[in-house]
Amino acid sequence: MSELLQYVITGVTVGMVYSLIALSFVLIWKSSGVANLALGQMVLVFSWFTYGMLVQAGLPLWLGLGLVVLFSLGMGWLIERAALRPLIGQPILSLIAVTLGLAFFIEGLVSFIWPRSVAALPRIFPEDVIHIGTAVVSQEYLWAAGISLMLFAVLSFYFKYSRMGIAMRATADDQLAVQACGVPVTRIFSRSWMFAAVLAAVGGVLMASIGGITHGLVETGLKSFSVVILGGLNSFLGAILAGPIIGLAENVGGGYLTPLTWPGVKEVIPFIIIVIVMFVKPYGLFGEERIERI
């Protein structure tokens, strides 16, 4: 029984890390309807940049992280301006393909600038482990969960109450109407990509401090797609709730299924969940079903 507590706690905390990356995806989808398939690679490049700042350049923590945020803002702006602006209004395959092309490009860029494939970040969070009953959880996960929740709260408020946030939601709903109202749509896209890049950077730093910087960050980005699908593509609440659900499914499901079935069952659980969601409730738990008319 004590294992169940351990599985649950590990699942929830790991899931919150997935949620953080998922928030970035949802932000871009909510504002511009673009699926950012380069998310994993963006997380990777920001983690490496953090490594570059903190380890290679040896800057102090606050300065290094500050530069990471600035870099991610710049990179988000650049991506939107150079690759997505020319494709406004194109069919969805083009948009997806351009993010795939970007993914390749960013991966190449990372290999170009940081040829190492594994690196460790300096300790950002304290190392001691916290005991909850018989279960243990490392502090890094709790910090990651806390930061995810905080960012979720900030984003929700922003989208609900601030002018720019409302404008973003309006743009996702109906671009033409928004343009007719005089809202600068391109500026909205730009802002949303910049914020999403910052979210990806934060997620990247947290994941890198837990597990080091490797190419695996890209695969964890893929797992956050399952969070996004489960939660609903345009719902922040969905992303925050679906993350722990996927984490629980992985750990509790994996924990009890593995001795019964195959040793590696845990890895494939998020993808099986995607397929099941597609069959049962394609728009996710909190997603909005688009109604199409001829």
Partner 1 sequence: MGSTGKLKKLSLVLASLLILVTPLLVSGCGQAEASLKVGLSIPFTGPAAEKGRPMGDGVLDCIKYINEEMGGIEGIPIEAVWRDTQYDSARAANFVNEFMDKGCLFFTTCASKEMAASMEIANRNDFPGFTVFSSPVCIHPPEHIYAQMPDYGDSWAAFAKYYMENIWEGAGKPRMALHLLNNPTGSGASDAARALADELGIEIVATEEHAATTLSEIESLSRIKAANPDVLFISSTPQPTSIILKNARELGITPGVTVGCGHASFTQALIDLSGNAAEGVYGVFPTVNWGDDVEAMEKMTEYCLEYHPDDYGNMDYITCWAEGLVIAEILRLAVEHVGVDNIDQLTPQIVEEYGFKGLDNFDPGGLHGPVSYSAGDNRLAKAVRVFQVNGGEMVPQTGWVNAPAILYEDFDWFGQ
Partner 2 sequence: MDLPAGIRNFTYAQDMAIFRTRWQWVMLVVFILALFSAPLLLNNYWLGIANLIGISVIAATGLNILIGYCGQLSLGHAGFIAVGAYAYAIMVSRFEWPFLAAMVFAGVVAGLTGLLFGIPSVRVKGFYLAISTIAAHFIIIWVINQWSSLTGGYNGIGVPAANLFGVSFAGQKNQFYLIFVITVIVIFMAKNIARTRLGRAFVAVRDNDLAAEVMGINLFRYKLLAFFIGCFLAGIAGSLMANWIGYLNAENFTLNESILYIGMIIIGGLGTTIGPILGVVFIRLLQEGVNSISPLVEGWIPALPSGFTAGLGPMVFGLVIVLFLILEPRGLAHRWNLFKASYRLWPFSY
Q: Is 59 exposed, middle or buried (0-12, 13-18, 19+ CB in 10 A)?
A: middle
- Dist CA 21 CA 207 (whole Å): 10
Residue with tokens 């350049």: 57
- Dist CA 224 CA 5 (whole Å): 24
- Dist CA 196 CA 26 (whole Å): 9
CB 212, min distance to partner 1, A? 5
Residues 30-59 that bind partner 2 (CB under 8 A): 35, 37
3 binds partner 1 (CB under 8 A): yes
- Using CB under 8 A, which of the segments 45-53, 124-132, 162-170, 223-231 binds partner 2? 223-231
**Token representation of residue 123:** 């300790």
Residue with tokens 């743009």: 171
Nearer of residues 94 and 162 to partner 2, judged by Cβ: 94
**Token representation of residue 204:** 């990247």
- Using CB under 8 A, which of the segments 2-10, 67-75, 186-194, 263-271 binds partner 2? 263-271
CB 243, min distance to partner 1, A? 12
160 binds partner 1 (CB under 8 A): no
CB 73, min distance to partner 2, A? 21
- Dist CA 189 CA 81 (whole Å): 9
Pick from 48, 141, 152, 225 the residue near partner 2 by CB under 8 A: 225
Which residues neighbour 112 within 8 Å (Cβ) at sequence distance 6 or greater?
Answer: none
94 binds partner 2 (CB under 8 A): yes
56 binds partner 1 (CB under 8 A): no
**Is the torsion defined by CA of 21, 71, 153, 184 positive or negative?**
negative
Pick from 67, 73, 78, 107 the residue near partner 2 by CB under 8 A: 107
CA dist 100 → 25, 32, 38, 107, 172 (Å):
14, 17, 6, 11, 22
Nearer of residues 81 and 169 to partner 2, judged by Cβ: 81
123 binds partner 1 (CB under 8 A): yes
Pick from 59, 124, 149, 212 the residue near partner 1 by CB under 8 A: 212
* Cα first-last separation, the chain: 55
CB 217, min distance to partner 2, A? 14
Residues 192-211 that bind partner 1 (CB under 8 A): 207, 210-211
Pick from 92, 136, 177, 257 the residue near partner 2 by CB under 8 A: 92
- Using CB under 8 A, which of the segments 16-24, 158-166, 178-186, 276-284 binds partner 2? 276-284
Q: CB-side exposure of 7: number of CA atoms within 13 Å? A: 18
Which ranges of the chain does DSSP label H, i.e. alpha helix? 2-32, 39-51, 61-79, 92-113, 139-161, 163-173, 175-180, 185-211, 216-231, 236-248, 254-257, 265-280
Task: Write the single-letter amino acid at 143.
Answer: W
Residues that bind partner 1 (CB under 8 A): 3, 6-7, 10-11, 14, 17, 111, 115-118, 120, 123, 127, 129, 136, 138, 141, 207, 210-212, 214-217, 219-220, 250-251, 254-255, 258-259, 263-264, 266-267
Residues that bind partner 2 (CB under 8 A): 35, 37, 83, 86-87, 90, 92-94, 96-98, 100-115, 222, 225-226, 229, 233, 262, 264, 267-268, 271-272, 274-275, 278-279, 282-283, 292-294
